[in-house]
Chain A
Amino acid sequence: NAGVTQTPKFQVLKTGQSMTLQCAQDMNHEYMSWYRQDPGMGLRLIHYSVGAGITDQGEVPNGYNVSRSTTEDFPLRLLSAAPSQTSVYFCASSRDSGTRTDTQYFGPGTRLTVL
Chain B
Amino acid sequence: AQRVTQPEKLLSVFKGAPVELKCNYSYSGSPELFWYVQYSRQRLQLLLRHISRESIKGFTADLNKGETSFHLKKPFAQEEDSAMYYCALRPPGYSSASKIIFGSGTRLSIRP
**A pairs with B:** no
* Chain A positions near chain B (C-beta within 8 angstroms): none
* Chain B positions near chain A (C-beta within 8 angstroms): none
